[in-house]
Structure 1
Amino acid sequence: MGRKVILATCSLNQWALDFDGNLERILRSIEIAKSQGAKYRLGPELEICGYGCADHFYESDTLLHCFQVLRKLLESPVTQDIICDVGMPIMHHNVRYNCRVIFLNRKILLIRPKMLLANYGNNREFRWFSPWNKLRLDTVPFGDCVLSTKDTCIGSEICAELWNPRSPHVDMGLDGVEIFTNSSASYHELRKADHRVNLVKSATTKSGGIYMLANQKGCDGDRLYYDGCATVAINGDIVAQGRQFSLDDVLLTQTQNSMPVTFEMSHGLLIYPLLHCVQEYEHKPCHRVKVDFSLSDCDDVYLPTHQPIEWQFHTPEEEISLGPACWLWDYLRRSGQAGFLLPLSGGVDSSSTACIVYSMCVLVCQAVRDGNSQVLEDVQRVVNDVSYTPRDPRELCGRIFTTCYMASENSSEGTRNRAKELASQVGSSHMNLNIDMAVKGMLGIFSMVTGKCPQFRANGGSTRENLALQNVQARIRMILAYLFAQLSQWAEGKPGGLLVLGSANVDESLTGYFTKYDCSSADINPIGGISKTDLRSFLQYCVEQFQLTALKSIMAAPPTAELEPLTDGQVSQTDESDMGMTYSELSVIGRLRKISKCGPYSMFCKLIHTWREALSPLQVAAKVKHFFQMYSVNRHKMTTVTPSYHAESYGPDDNRFDLRPFLYNTRWSWQFRAIDNQVVTSYKYLGVWLDGTLSFSQHISKLQAKVKS
């Protein structure tokens, strides 16, 4: 006879160091899980402090505030009568661990430290944490243990442990564990979701049982976007799929019949017959922590049979449309700004950025229609209008999105018209500027000081003069972008400023094909980790999905910076000619350099086979040499590249030495409140007794007056 268990796995939009907000979202997820009858709630990795704290993990404040939040959770009536599994850093014997804390009814059942750390791609867990490789401890069970309830056995994995060839679930499954949980902070990359799903399926295909994966979601405060996608598998079948991209702060996985997920537990039936091979493999026995609690309800005779579902993967074009859009929304609503400003050139890159903003507005309007009160509240705060309800993406774009075409004497009428038409179709507030006066003013200063006037190459000038004349145009565009971002709202009598958006793709960053501190220098860049090839496919998707027909002429035009003089009114400068290779070739080179870790020689050895149908070995050698020359000469630019959405695993973004987020909750509510409380305590020690009827600010005013007197 089987038993029914209800389990909850969730994706939370946590924010690094936002202890108040993180606590509220954790409690809300537990409340939802309990309301649906769940007896076990699993949350994402390091959810109490946020995964992206980076070097803040070194600070004792972070550890202190995590324990303060844990105490709030333990004391809350919301967490009673449900096993809660939360993530936080813990210092034990002066060693810092990435841990799961599992508790029930105010008692900590187990602290499970991470044993296999992630140290690849954007992950640097060895920088802040140590892997657990010791025996368990007995005071509060701390270490590699599993929970043994009255009706089943539950074992934990943490994120990267699932990706390891010696995953802990192998030994746990062979030792009779039936439910496996995984708390993750797995960030989005194009085409990555299928890998994650296949690993979850594989875990229970091998040994049977239930596997639950919870994942962080949203912009945690840095370049990464965690894409949610909470997942549940049973005996090799996916039975529940959480949304991969969503504006909801709290998401629990759903099935057609229930939320959270309901399964039949029948001892001995969850474990596959594959276990006949146990004798051939000596597994490590698990230490069991006994828990006087049942996940199942013996009185419930209704036993549902799990129904496999077909996982719905997004296409890369859909991922580009959704991932960076959700990232932009988190950044906008948490930064306190009033919208975005984009220098729109009429080319593929800036048009892609514009389309992502439009996609963001589509998501926001849909969330409001679906009754998401948090999104509505955030929109009203951004536009500074508590009566506003967004209904049409174009109308919302007009309120929060400004585009500007910055023309010069080298600009063509074609790009101007393409930018104007696209702005009209997405609904942005569009401006046409001319920078010639500013360029001539800058060159006039130079000529007055040196007595020389540089010329373009087309007019007889040298390569150095030609480059300098291009760069001064690009850098003036950056200055104007920031000027209008800071003052355009003020000029219209509106509060707030705008975030400047960048539009340099990952391939241009590889070679440094951009001007340092030009309009590629921005506040954030949603396409900085996406290849030109994928961006072209994305624009075609936008033509069909959003009916943005202006993109057809943009895709047909050759990519150009338009910084050199026109020839008979036509563009003569192209990006691919300047770079000495095509964008598709750059994508191949980028993956060989970063993922395959190729130097010049090994890259050449691989490419003479890859490109043998199109290029001779001599031509391949020339391209490889040219790439590495450009890469090494322009590597310094990577230290100033705009913080970009991470989408490709071969991005060259320089992660600086001080690894901290760049998006903060400026209120620091939890931390500042702790300071305030300590101030009051300090004055008491000094013998200054405070009036209990006064607020803290009134206390401070009174004390300041006392000090002055």
Structure 2
Amino acid sequence: MSHLITLATCNLNQWALDFEGNRDRILESIKISKEKKARLRVGPELEITGYGCLDHFLEDDLYLHSWEMYASILKTPETFDILLDIGMPVVHKNVRYNCRLLSFNGKILLIRPKIWLANDGNYRELRYFTPWFKPTIVEEFQLPVNIAKLTGQSLVPFGDAVINALDTCIGTETCEELFTPESPHIAMSLDGVEIFTNSSGSHHELRKLNKRMDLIKGATSRCGGVYLYANQRGCDGDRLYYDGCALIAINGKVVAQGSQFSLKDVEVVTATVDLEDVRSYRAAFMSRSMQASLSKIRYQRITVDVELAVKNNRFDPSITPTAARDVRYHLPEEEIALGPACWLWDYLRRCKGTGYFLPLSGGIDSCATAVIIFSMCRLVIKEISDGNYVVLKDVQKICRMGQEWIPSKPEEIANKIFHTCYMGTENSSKETRDRSRNLAKRINSYHVDLNMDPVVNSIISLFEVATGKKPVYKIFGGSQIENLALQNIQARLRMVLSYLFAQLLPWVRNIPNSGGLLVLGSSNVDECLRGYLTKYDCSSADLNPIGAISKRDLKKFIAYASANFDMPILDDFLKATPTAELEPITKDYVQSDEIDMGMTYDELGVFGSLRKIDKCGPYSMFLKLLHLWTPKLTPRQVAEKVKRFFFFYAINRHKQTVITPSYHAENYSPDDNRFDLRPFLIDPRFPWASKKIDRIVDQYEGKISIDDLNNLEVD
């Protein structure tokens, strides 16, 4: 005996406040779902508005327009004969909720509010919505007048309930609820729910996907059942890239998985499952049966008079259950190649920009940024070759080309939209200039090579005329403050020149109907954390694709791209010593990033992870590293490194208040705008923590006893 049902979930590339566009993509996903004979379709979280509306969720207009779009969906005949699970915000009794609206044949069956809200890291849902703190409670919701006229309903159920079809039971949970210890699907499964939908707005982070997949597989392995996971995909107007990967799992096995990175606006994932597999799987566990019989949690069932299995499906030998498959994971270097590239494409097409401008220094960071742009061009070519008409129209608009122009190589696109510039000074080396020029040639960007010494010298001369004093570099006898000021002049002038060239290069090239270019920054997450950048220098840009990616991962990405993108030129960047080239090069001295910082990039990665992820202050970080780094380092050396890191982190914290918006990829990103909220005026010496660290070092070195250590008191 079998009971086969075809189900659909989807990845949608929604855009915050793009009401009509979001509606059209929802309608397209419903159309595709029906073509694939699906009887249930689930979409991403808040798909009508877009997930990342932020404080727009506080505006009444948003709720009005959401209902208008939902009405448009309900009255479309093509949306009938399929059970729909659609996400949008709803105001109930003057309280805002993040909701799922379930409907069938133009009738609203249930409005299910989110119970547990995401409110850490990048998420602030409690700022906009209220959790539904009434598990299993259902109230009546008064529909807006226009919706009531359309559906013929005045009141509909609002609350924590499940949908009871003629042949199965369906429950919903939303994004964060899957990640909580007591997920709703547990109680629902014990009450007989067989199909679970999860609508998500989950962002990409390096190495994060496996956690999401493990939770879904674990949920259905433990409870039995079918799980449909839908997710937003793309840049919806913020630092996050939502990475799709819509999924269907049954009894701990994945039977369908959507792509994680793609330029497709609509991707529907379907699978045919046998509900008898769920029933036999659950019945085989006696302990589960006992828990189900003893459970006191009972959900109100909203009945819909429909059998989800297509008529005679269970007896048709031509229709078979979808086979299980392995989950597809990308390597971190592949994630870097794909995620930021998709994010940049969405940003460019939605702002209707002319292209990107990048100060290409010849170092690995700006190199990685350039290669991500090239990866973006590769993705566009792939979509065009696959027949993606939307991407073709977008690239024709961006490149200001007619409908007859169909690019066949990524280099063709790069030459139209990507502009690079090497801004050299007397402190620059021939090697970095050559690497910059050769990479630009390989990518086929529009490249400018210039010397900015006259501009730098004019600024120094102006200062000398105004003050009567001329600063000199430390290597020539100047002070540290002179040395730093002379470096910062170069860095800040590069920012000024970047915006000048970004605004005027399209004009220079006679590109019709063009605006300015978007300026790209290229400071990695470790430099941002340490503050190893000049405030308002060329790290100050419109966007930074690598601002939350570590130097270590960028090197792996460049090695990957060298082999997979046929770019052997990248090997030269991997061999080069990271340097800012802001100080004079002499026979005995070449500036080095790691020497300047007083710590390695690998060490910065460890510091960043312990500070942000493990929530360590100086004292607890020292204790952890004492175990990790000794005996390779002495306790005193560990203490010096920890105190040095926190000193420079603290004195440079103010730089994060104006940091360029970066693609969020690393969970120890110091982005001050939302993800990492810390004061920017901190005592950089952390005196009390430093005293405690010093006492432990003294005890290790035999200068004090353990009793003395334990008797440390406040002075």
Instruction: Using structure 1 for the length normalisation, give the TM-score.
Output: 0.90
Residue 67 (str. 1) matches residue 86 (str. 2) = no
Question: What is residue 687 of structure 1 aligned with on the other side?
Answer: none
Residue 461 (str. 1) matches residue 463 (str. 2) = no
Aligned pairs (5 A) from 1:323-334: 323-334=339-350
DSSP-derived class of the 2:485 partner: helix
Question: What is residue 640 of structure 2 aligned with on the other side?
Answer: 622
TM superposition shift of 1:655: 1.4
Question: What is residue 565 of structure 2 aligned with on the other side?
Answer: 546
Q: In the alignment, residue 444 of structure 1 is paired with which amino acid?
A: S
- Higher RCO by CA contacts (8 Å cutoff, separation 6 or greater): 1
Structure 1 pair 277–84 and aligned structure 2 pair: CA distance change class (3 A):
closer
Contact 2:271 2:322 in 1 (8 A): no
Residues of 1 paired with 2:518 and 2:126: CA distance?
Answer: 34
Aligned pairs (5 A) from 1:634-673: 634-655=652-673
Residue 492 (str. 1) matches residue 509 (str. 2) = yes
Residue 206 (str. 1) matches residue 219 (str. 2) = no
- The equivalent position to 1:299 in structure 2, one of 305, 312, 331, is 312
TM superposition shift of 1:272: 5.1
TM superposition shift of 1:306: 3.5
Contact 2:283 2:289 in 1 (8 A): no
Aligned pairs (5 A) from 1:390-405: 390-405=407-422
Question: What is residue 591 of structure 2 aligned with on the other side?
Answer: 573
Residue 227 (str. 1) matches residue 243 (str. 2) = yes
- The equivalent position to 2:183 in structure 1, one of 167, 184, 193, is 167
Residues of 2 paired with 1:275 and 1:87: CA distance?
Answer: 36
Residue 117 (str. 1) matches residue 100 (str. 2) = no
Aligned pairs (5 A) from 1:177-576: 177-253=193-269, 260-266=270-276, 268-271=279-282, 273-280=284-291, 282-300=295-313, 301-302=315-316, 303-386=319-402, 387-494=404-511, 495-568=514-587, 572-576=590-594
Q: In the alignment, residue 82 of structure 1 is paired with which amino acid?
A: I
The range that moved more, 639-648 or 78-87, is: 78-87
Residues of 1 paired with 2:348 and 2:321: CA distance?
Answer: 44
Contact 1:352 1:535 in 2 (8 A): yes
Q: In the alignment, residue 273 of structure 1 is paired with which amino acid?
A: A
Aligned pairs (5 A) from 1:81-96: 81-96=81-96
Q: Residue by residue, what CA displacement relative to the aligned partner does 1:209-230 show, whole Å, maximum 9, x if unpaired?
A: 1100000000010000000000
TM superposition shift of 1:54: 0.6
TM superposition shift of 1:423: 1.2
Q: In the alignment, residue 535 of structure 1 is paired with which amino acid?
A: L
DSSP-derived class of the 1:140 partner: strand
Q: Residue by residue, what CA displacement relative to the aligned partner does 1:299-340 show, whole Å, maximum 9, x if unpaired?
A: 232251341101121000000000000001001111111111
Question: What is residue 27 of structure 1 aligned with on the other side?
Answer: 27
TM superposition shift of 1:2: 2.0
Structure 1 pair 272–604 and aligned structure 2 pair: CA distance change class (3 A):
farther
TM superposition shift of 1:84: 1.1
Contact 1:174 1:283 in 2 (8 A): no
Contact 1:178 1:271 in 2 (8 A): no
Q: Residue by residue, what CA displacement relative to the aligned partner does 1:206-252 show, whole Å, maximum 9, x if unpaired?
A: 12111000000000100000000000101111000100000000001
Residues of 2 paired with 1:362 and 1:334: CA distance?
Answer: 19
- Over the matched positions of the two proteins, sequence identity in percent amounts to 55
Structure 1 pair 275–423 and aligned structure 2 pair: CA distance change class (3 A):
farther
Question: What is residue 663 of structure 1 aligned with on the other side?
Answer: none
Contact 1:418 1:553 in 2 (8 A): yes
TM superposition shift of 1:388: 1.7
TM superposition shift of 1:398: 1.2
Residues of 1 paired with 2:631 and 2:446: CA distance?
Answer: 48
Residues of 2 paired with 1:381 and 1:537: CA distance?
Answer: 34
TM superposition shift of 1:497: 1.9
Structure 1 pair 201–616 and aligned structure 2 pair: CA distance change class (3 A):
same
TM superposition shift of 1:626: 0.8
Q: Residue by residue, what CA displacement relative to the aligned partner does 1:26-79 show, whole Å, maximum 9, x if unpaired?
A: 111111111111111100000000000011111111111111111111111121
Residues of 1 paired with 2:261 and 2:130: CA distance?
Answer: 32
Residues of 1 paired with 2:54 and 2:520: CA distance?
Answer: 25
Contact 2:225 2:251 in 1 (8 A): yes
Residues of 2 paired with 1:66 and 1:275: CA distance?
Answer: 46
Contact 1:95 1:130 in 2 (8 A): yes
Residues of 2 paired with 1:272 and 1:63: CA distance?
Answer: 44
Residues of 2 paired with 1:624 and 1:274: CA distance?
Answer: 52
The range that moved more, 260-269 or 126-135, is: 260-269
Residues of 2 paired with 1:584 and 1:467: CA distance?
Answer: 25
Contact 1:178 1:270 in 2 (8 A): no
Structure 1 pair 305–28 and aligned structure 2 pair: CA distance change class (3 A):
closer
TM superposition shift of 1:275: 4.8
Residues of 2 paired with 1:268 and 1:565: CA distance?
Answer: 74
Question: What is residue 128 of structure 1 aligned with on the other side?
Answer: 128
TM superposition shift of 1:268: 2.6
Residues of 2 paired with 1:613 and 1:226: CA distance?
Answer: 43
Contact 1:45 1:216 in 2 (8 A): yes
Residues of 2 paired with 1:551 and 1:329: CA distance?
Answer: 23
Contact 2:172 2:197 in 1 (8 A): yes
Residue 607 (str. 1) matches residue 625 (str. 2) = yes
Contact 1:207 1:275 in 2 (8 A): no
Contact 1:524 1:642 in 2 (8 A): yes
Q: In the alignment, residue 55 of structure 1 is paired with which amino acid?
A: D
TM superposition shift of 1:265: 2.4
DSSP-derived class of the 2:665 partner: coil
Residues of 2 paired with 1:611 and 1:62: CA distance?
Answer: 53
Structure 1 pair 275–426 and aligned structure 2 pair: CA distance change class (3 A):
farther
Question: What is residue 101 of structure 2 aligned with on the other side?
Answer: 101
TM superposition shift of 1:656: 5.8
How many residues end up aligned between the 2 structures? 651
